Amino acid sequence: MSVKDLFLKYVQIHSVSRMGAESNPSNELEWDIAKVVAEDMRAVGLKNVTLADNCYVYGWLDATPGYEDAPAIGFIAHMDTATDFCGENVKPRVIENYDGSDVELGAGRSLTAKVFPHLPSLAGKTLIVTDGTTLLGADDKAGIAEILTAVSEIIAEGIPHGRLCIGFTPDEEVGLGAAGFDLPLFGAKYAYTVDGGPINSVDYECFNAASASVSFKGFNVHPGSAKNTMINAALLAMEFNAMLPAGSIPAHTEGYQGFFHLLSVEGNTEAARLEYIVRDHDAHLFEARQKQLQHITQLMNDKYGGGTVTLELAQSYRNMAELVAPAFHLVENAKKAIAEAGLEPVSTPIRGGTDGATLSYMGLPCPNLGTGGWAAHGPYEHCTVEDMETMVGIIKGITALYAQHRD
Ligand SMILES: [Zn+2]
């Protein structure tokens, strides 16, 4: 099967994950795609294909004789789709020889160059879009199709390789794709997630991330006789937020700029609570942001009495750059393979986290490669067959480079 055929098959299998579910996988229907993917892994020639009881799928290719000393390289993608938009009854539409103009999807929605300025650059390619009622699922089914096609071509063309480890996960979209990943079983020394956007990207920097929950305790008396007595918890919450830098919010930041993001406000005179997430690529600035929250908490407790404000900080994930740094050949080899495919490689700081970041912290350095998908998580999601084919070549190129690599 071609990368296009595999892709079209996978996107038509409903595999949305579920936020807040206690089970593994988060949604029973993720088994449907896992079984199909496991079957295809066997079909392309992967060995010992294992569908684990938490719905992770693994498969391996032994090193070509003579290349046993090359490091074992992993490629990882996720099988679930985003919870943000309907992923059921996906009806992909293939537009051969796309002319670069706006595309009417259906359901009153159109793909326009006004919103997606890269569209004209896809002219001449085979564009795949939705019917406007669902997401497409290129995130990350393009990644699965590309990895499996690369494996099948590596075998067919006799490209020398070290040990290859292939893993597909459920539940990436609900933040749990790395959680159940069996690293000892997987056995890769270095790996890539294939779960990004443009195929010339290799991303290895992400945010450091924490969440902050701030509680305010008021002192409630009759408002008519409240002078010098009442402490209004809702006003305390407003005072707290007013002490944070107003420009340091998601709507005013980009690139390497971090932020405090106020997720929710709830409260009344008696009690109030603010929930934030805190993000910064720079580890020192990230610490400073948390210190700033502690400082404001201290100030307000000094002013209103100890215990008025309680701050709880919880660490979420860390920037993987520091973990990829000792294995920077991961980035260099990816860039080499991208350049060999005739593209200009780019690295962009990810303004979020990735499964690769978590895997990096678990001990497997894991930058993220592109898939060729655009506008993920909604009805405007689209990709081209040609970009997926080029990505197959990039994965093969990386594999060939690592056959020559010795630590
Ligand atoms: Zn993804």
**Any catalytic annotation for residue 266?**
no
Q: Give the pLDDT band of residue 92 (cuts 50, 70, 90).
A: very high
Q: Separation of 171 CA from ligand 1 center, angstroms?
A: 10
Strands (E), 36-88: 47-51, 57-61, 73-78
Three-state DSSP state, 293: helix
CATH fit for domain 3-205+319-403, picks 3.40.190.10, 3.90.1150.10, 3.40.630.10, 3.50.50.60: 3.40.630.10
Q: Separation of 342 CA from ligand 1 center, angstroms?
A: 25
Across the range 231-241, mean pLDDT stands at 98
Decide if pLDDT at 210 tops 90. Answer: yes
For the chain, the structural domain boundaries read 3-205+319-403, 208-317
Q: Which residue has the higher pLDDT, 357 or 90?
A: 90
Q: Give the pLDDT band of residue 130 (cuts 50, 70, 90).
A: very high
Question: Could you report the per-residue pLDDT of 45-65, keeping only the tens digit for each?
Answer: 999 999 999 999 999 999 999
Across the range 242-253, mean pLDDT stands at 97
- Write down the pLDDT at residue 2: 97
Q: 208-317 is classed in which CATH architecture? A: 2-Layer Sandwich (3.30)
- Write down the pLDDT at residue 262: 95
Q: What is the mean pLDDT of the chain?
A: 96
Instruction: Name the least confident of 42-46, 65-69, 175-179, 243-247.
Output: 175-179
- Return all residues near 76 (Cβ < 8 A) that are at least 6 apart: 166, 167, 168, 169, 181, 191, 192, 193, 194, 195, 355, 356, 359, 366
Decide if pLDDT at 20 tops 90. Answer: no
Q: Give the pLDDT band of residue 316 (cuts 50, 70, 90).
A: confident
Q: Separation of 316 CA from ligand 1 center, angstroms?
A: 18
Q: Which of 80, 139, 195, 381 is catalytic?
A: 80
Decide if pLDDT at 354 tops 90. Answer: no
Q: Separation of 121 CA from ligand 1 center, angstroms?
A: 23
User: What span, in angstroms and rounded, lies between the C-alpha atoms of 59 and 73?
Assistant: 12
Decide if pLDDT at 216 tops 90. Answer: yes
- Using an 8 Å Cβ cutoff, are 52 and 170 in contact? no
**Any catalytic annotation for residue 172?**
yes
